[in-house]
Amino acid sequence: MIIEELLLGQITRGQIIDVCIGIRWTAVVSLVGGARKCGLATSLQYQNKHSAKATVEKAGYLAELISDELARYILSSNTLERSIGVAAINSLLPDSPQKTVEINAEHEIARLGREKKVVLVGHFPFVHRLGKEVGELFVLEREPRKGDYPEKEAPQIIPQADVVAITSLTIINGSFSGLLELCSPSAHVMLLGPSTPLSPALFDHGITTLSGAKVIDIESVIKGINQGANFKQLHRLGVNLVTMRN
pLDDT, tens digit, for every residue of 120-175? 999 999 999 999 999 999 999 999 999 999 999 999 999 999 999 999 999 999 99
Instruction: Please indicate, yes or no, whether residues 109 and 199 belong to a single structural domain of this protein.
Output: yes
Is 246 part of any domain? Answer: no
Q: What is the pLDDT of residues 89-106, one digit of tens each?
A: 999 999 987 789 999 999
49 plus 12 within the same structural domain: yes
What does the pLDDT average to over 36-52?
82
Does 52 have pLDDT greater than 80? Answer: no
What does the pLDDT read at residue 49? 59
Number of domains present in the structure of the chain: 2
Q: What is the pLDDT of residue 108?
A: 96
Residues 78 and 178 in one domain: no
Residue 245: inside a domain = no
Q: What is the pLDDT of residues 19-35, one digit of tens each?
A: 999 999 999 999 999 99
Rounded to whole angstroms, the Cα distance separating 16 from 28 reads: 7
H/E segment holding residue 100? strand 100-101
Domain residues for the domain of 168 are 99-212
pLDDT of 1 reads: 53
pLDDT of residue 2: 82
Mean pLDDT score across all residues of the chain: 94
The rounded percent of the chain whose pLDDT value lies above 90 is 91
For the chain, how many residues are written?
246
**Does residue 180 sit within a domain?**
yes
What is the edge-to-edge ordering of all strands in the sheet holding 25-32? 15-21, 25-32, 35-42
The count of other CB atoms within 10 Å of the CB of residue 223 is 14
